Each structure stands twice: as C-alpha cells, then as structure tokens.
Structure 1
C-alpha cells in the first residue's frame, strides 16, 4: 500500500512583511539633523552679510558661505536619497522615504515634497504633528505626494560619529564667520570713529587755511589752498582764485567759531561732511576793516596719502559784512 502524504508547506514563499511607519520622534530627529547644521550656517551668514558694510569683500564671502550651505542641504535632502537611499539624518535613525506602494521616490517628487512641507507649516504647524495620530504616520506633505516614511535597517557604519562631525563642522563655521564679522565690523566702526575725530579736529583748520589769504603772500596762500583740495574740486577753487586776482584783491582771514560733523551722508573711513559757522575780517587798513560771518557746508575726502582734503564747499549763508566798530 502506498501512502500519499500532504506535504504542502505552510508558506510556499517567504511573505514580505509590511513596512513599519517611522515614529514621530524619529522623523523629528532626522529632520533636525538634516536641517539644523545648514540652517544655522545660512542664518549666521545672512545676518553677518547684512551687518557687514556693502563695500567690504567679506560681505561676498558670507554670501558665498550661505549659498554653499543651501547647496549642501539640497544635495543631502534631494540627491542623496535617490543616489544612496539616505539623508544624513535618516541614516542615523534608520528611516527611508518611499511611495505609498513601496517603490523608491525620485528627485523630483522629493523636491515637491520639500515644498509641500509649507502646508505643514502654514497650517499653524498642525501638519508636522499629524503623524502623531495618523495610522501611517504621515504629514500633510506625505498625504499630498502619497509618500510615507518607513523604519529600515540603518547602514553599516558609525553614523553617530559622522553626524557629530557635521554638527561640529557647522558650529565651527558659524563661530569662525561670527569672529571674522566681528573683526570686520569692529575695524569699520573703529575706522569711522577715527575719521570723525580727525575731521572734528582738522576740518575747521583746513577750511580756515583754504579761505584765508593775504595780499602780500597771495601766491603762496593760493598754492597752499589748492593743496588742501581734491583733484575734483581744485579746478573750481582755481577759477575763484583767478577771479580774485583779476579784481581788487584784499586780505581775508577766516576762523571757525562753531562746527559739527554731519551724519547725512554718514561718515565713512574716507569721507565726511561738516557744517561750519565762520567769522573773519577783510582788509588790512583799520579804517576800512570789515568783519565777515558765513555758514558753509564742506565735504572732505581722504587722499591716497591719508590726508583729509576739501572735496566740495557750499555756502549756505552768504557772507555778511559789517564795518569795524559797528
């Protein structure tokens, strides 16, 4: 007698287990690891770029650092998941983004998913908390793009050491950038303070020497005055001097009785403006001596040799003369 036994196996093929949705805590941790270092560098670089003077080369350095950090974040969040299956944070926590059907997600869908996270934020942050009660642990972005985040086996490498290195590197970049910005801003502020102090001290004396002259030493006085002006303003002063020569010249002596450094335009290490109240006397004969008062606005520029020169002079209140004894 031949016995026929039923040898049908309990499972004809190994059953594929359903993917396990990632916990909210794991997703939050992975997101922080992926975004915190880059966001910290970008925010630091942006703030430092805004605080740095526009004409300083360091502003472009900070801008470039922020752009590189944004590029690194984009590569980590969009390219690496498609290329190797992981972002830095997801590799640390053992997570992977997949289509609802279980198929891999491409770069385009990942990019749109990142933009769709705006829905999670604009909904007063409720979208980020939605995985706490959603059965498949999905955010609003996942619901729109039909994606899910699953728990998987982490890569066979010490991800904690790699993540720590990235976090330390980002912190070092932020500290170094802040130190460089402090040096630049401090240097700029110190240079501005020095320029203001120099103009407060030298500005009135420069204007006095430029406007004062004697009939007996007119050539030397006019030559000295031209040396106190910039190349741009010198032709205008020379024309005024020529007009004085062609007329009936008389001695003029000016002195500043009040002065103030203007804040508009702001003082820079190489430019400044000053308002001066001037008094003086015209003539040499005591019987014909006249007293003069005037108000002028003067622009100063620093020369290549470091000397302050008059770049422009505007008479705000025309000279008023009165005879001696009046």
Structure 2
C-alpha cells in the first residue's frame, strides 16, 4: 500500500504567505518617536520662544516684527522638512537619522499631497488624547490614525550615504543657538524698554506740570512772545487748536493770565511708553493786573504728551473741570 501525502491541495499549488501579517521592515515605535522628536520639538522650542518674546515686546517697536518673522521662518522650515524634503529625497532629518521613511502600503513613495494630508491628519492623533500617536504600539501595521487616513505606513529603509548624525547635530545646535540668541535679544530689548519707560515716567513727572504752566500762562505786555513760546511746546497736530484759542483770547481783550500746578499724576491708561504719556493736573492761577480786580482761578485738565526730537510736547489738552474764578480776598 502506498500512502499519498497532500502537500499542495487538490491542484498542487504552493501556499502563499498571509499578506495581512506585519512586515518585518516596518519601523518600530521608538524609532518613529525619535524621528518626530528631532523633526518637531527643537523647532517648536524656537516658535514658542519667539511667540512669547513677540508678545512681550513693545507693540510699536521693531523687535515684535523681528520675532514674528523669525517665528514664521521657523514654521516654514518645519513644514519644508516634514512635507517637501521627504517628497524630494525620501526623508526628513529625523527619519534619515533613524533610517525610516513614509511610504504607501504598496511601497511607492507617498508624494507631496499625501504627505501634506498625513501631517494635517496628525491633528486627530493629538485630539484623541494622544492615543493616535500610541496606536502603532498595538496596530498590526504600526500605523497612527494619520497613517490609516492617508493609507501610509512607516518602514525601515537604508539610510543616506552621507553622515546624517553630523548634519542633524549641526541643525540642532543651530536651533539651540538661535533660541538662546532670541531669548537674550528679548531680554535686552525688554530691559531697555523698561528703563526707557521709567525714564519717561520720571521726565514727565518733572517736566509735564512746567510745560502746561508755560503754555497756559501769558502776560498782557508780553502776550505775543508768550503765545509764540506756547506754540513751541505743542505738537504739530495740536498747534492749530492752540493758535485758535490764542486768537480768541486776543479778540476778547486779554489780560495777564498765570497758572501753576498744585498737584499732578501720571495716568496709567494709556500706559506710559518711551515717547508718550498722559497726566492729570489740578491748576490754580490768577487773572488780571489790578490787585483790586484780581481773580483767582482753579481748573482740572488732562494732558497728553508726545516726545518729539527728544523734547516732550503737548499733544492734546482736555479741560475736565472748567476754570472757576473767584474774587481776591477783600473785593
């Protein structure tokens, strides 16, 4: 009796491997995580540093734009590394370091559009409480949610011929230096701005009341000179309004008018900057030349100052409490 052993089924065909089994060339989760750290975290460090420095920089200063441009350039470089570079040469810097690459399920290159869609789909990996990033730990094809949506997978591939470690190290050192330089520049800028604000605050406390006194005071015998002097204490924008008020005073038959500040305070809103400030002043004065008809004056004003060519000038004056005149004692 002869025994017949069935080794190929009825047709004698050989068995084919199960295509659903994980490919041994698939990238491990640690290598993927390491590549992501190299590609993303240093750039995010620069972006976060520049964002904080831009917010802390003076709103009207050039440094805010410098940090904003640096932030935008860093983001653009990260996008180029994660999307354009792998579509051209097959790797990002991080993936080249770990010898892995993104490909379609068929093994073909992913392409620019698919890589872009995959990067955008990583938002789902993050929004799902980072579960998507951990999904490769138990997925048979070691895919994230982004891989599932983009129909991609990450495989182990031969690394580039050039010394990638040296290149990656140079990039990381460069980003670290850039981040440190930006932080140092931001500190110096902030320190100088704070010093300039402190100096402006001290100057306006000292000079503001004197400027207002000179602008509002005039003598009947020196009116032309006093009015001309007052006009030099204002900005170009406010000067026409002051001139109109002076002309009204002249037409009404002016007499000596003298003011002095009895109290003053620098206003916190709007905040003091190196070239602008606002002040609240309580004024007292006297009007007239004849002691028998002399009038005492009280008024409250808000004054906005601007620093032009190193000199503080009145940009606007608002009367909060109209001048109150009282006769001198004994009248």
Q: 2:85 aligns with which of 80, 87, 98?
A: 80
Match of 1:112 in 2: 117
Verify the 8 A CA contact 1:37 1:166 in the aligned structure 2: no
- C-alpha distance in structure 1 between counterparts of 2:107 and 2:209, whole Å: 80
Match of 2:324 in 1: 320
Where in structure 2 are the equivalents of 1:44-63 lying within 5 Å? 44-63=49-68
Unaligned runs of 5+ residues in structure 1 are 1-16
Q: 2:313 aligns with which of 300, 309, 315?
A: 309
Shift of 1:138: 1.3
Shift of 1:303: 2.2
Where in structure 2 are the equivalents of 1:264-283 lying within 5 Å? 264-283=269-288
Shift of 1:19: 4.3
Q: 1:21 aligns with which of 26, 41, 59?
A: 26
Shift of 1:284: 2.5
Verify the 8 A CA contact 1:131 1:139 in the aligned structure 2: yes
- C-alpha distance in structure 2 between counterparts of 1:223 and 1:176, whole Å: 50
Verify the 8 A CA contact 1:228 1:310 in the aligned structure 2: yes
Match of 2:198 in 1: 193
Match of 1:8 in 2: none
TM-score (norm 2): 0.88
- C-alpha distance in structure 2 between counterparts of 1:175 and 1:257, whole Å: 50
Instruction: Tell me the alpha carbon deviations over residues 180-223 of structure 1, each in whole angstroms, 9 at most, x when there is no partner.
Output: 22222222222222111111100001111111122232222222
Verify the 8 A CA contact 2:23 2:141 in the aligned structure 1: no
Match of 1:141 in 2: 146
Shift of 1:137: 1.4
Q: 1:236 to 1:84 in 2, by over 3 A?
A: closer
Verify the 8 A CA contact 1:292 1:322 in the aligned structure 2: yes
- C-alpha distance in structure 1 between counterparts of 2:84 and 2:244, whole Å: 69
SS state at 2:154 partner: strand
Aligned length: 309
Match of 1:39 in 2: 44
Instruction: Tell me the alpha carbon deviations over residues 12-58 of structure 1, each in whole angstroms, 9 at most, x when there is no partner.
Output: xxxxx954221111110011011122222222222222222232222
- C-alpha distance in structure 1 between counterparts of 2:236 and 2:161, whole Å: 71
Unaligned runs of 5+ residues in structure 2 are 1-21
Match of 2:163 in 1: 158
SS state at 1:20 partner: coil
- C-alpha distance in structure 2 between counterparts of 1:55 and 1:29, whole Å: 41
Shift of 1:253: 1.5
Instruction: Tell me the alpha carbon deviations over residues 133-165 of structure 1, each in whole angstroms, 9 at most, x when there is no partner.
Output: 122211111122221111222223322222111
Match of 1:13 in 2: none
- C-alpha distance in structure 2 between counterparts of 1:173 and 1:283, whole Å: 67
